[in-house]
Amino acid sequence: MTYQIMFSFDSNRCIDCKTCEMACNAYYGLSHVHRRSVLSLKQEKTGHSIHLSMSCNHCRNPVCVSVCPENNFQKRRDGIVVHQAHNCRACMRCITACPFHAPKLNPKTNRADKCNFCVERIDRGLNPVCIENCVTGALSTIINADKQNPDPLKNSDIPIRRYTKPSIFIIDKKPGKIFLRKDEQV
């Protein structure tokens, strides 16, 4: 039975510390390229400023698969989209086509590079490094075993493109509550 493993992001908890970005770069020895980035944006409806930690969303319909002339992208049975860089010719198609800018050109290897959900760790029963190092617990993984593929962003107000069916679950920012003491009338 196949399933989809996906990132879950709680925007109430993210404090823009960028530890996830740094942990990923340190783990993979990356410089001048980020597989994960924390973006700050404003929600139109609520006007809330939120931070959003994004990397590859391991989409249900990954556009990188259809644009790569070398057919270098594969979706594993657990839903993780992996890039086999050894055949990459740096044609830049995936880099420009991805609506989330997940694949980036690695200047060291001169090949496309993207988040692989730390597959080697997942295979050992561990969490990806970004999740392992997230100090507030904003990032986590969830598994969607539902064959009907419900849209994980159905109830989210985050303005991201959805035609590729990104496999990311986002918990929207909730307004904080302020409790004020009512002065008793004398």
Residues that bind another protein (CB under 8 A): 1-2, 61-63, 65-66, 68, 71-72, 74-77, 96-97, 99, 121, 123-127, 132, 147-149, 159, 161, 163
Q: How far is the CB of 16 from another protein (least distance, A)?
A: 22
Distance CA 13, CA 45 (A): 20
Closest CA to 6 of 154, 139, 182, 100: 139
DSSP reduced 3-state for 142: strand
DSSP secondary structure, 13-60, as one string = T--S--HHHHHHHHHHT--S--SSEEEEEE-TTT--EEEEEES----S
- Nearer Cβ to another protein, position 70 or 175? 70
CB of 156 to another protein, least distance (A): 15
Q: Which is nearer to another protein, 91 or 126 (CB)?
A: 126
Q: Which is nearer to another protein, 45 or 147 (CB)?
A: 147
Q: Which is nearer to another protein, 46 or 74 (CB)?
A: 74
Strands 81-83 and 73-75: antiparallel
Please check whether residue 58 is in contact with residue 79, taking contact to mean a CB–CB distance below 8 angstroms: yes
Smallest gap from Cβ 80 to another protein, in A, equals 11
Minimum Å gap between C-beta 160 and another protein is 9
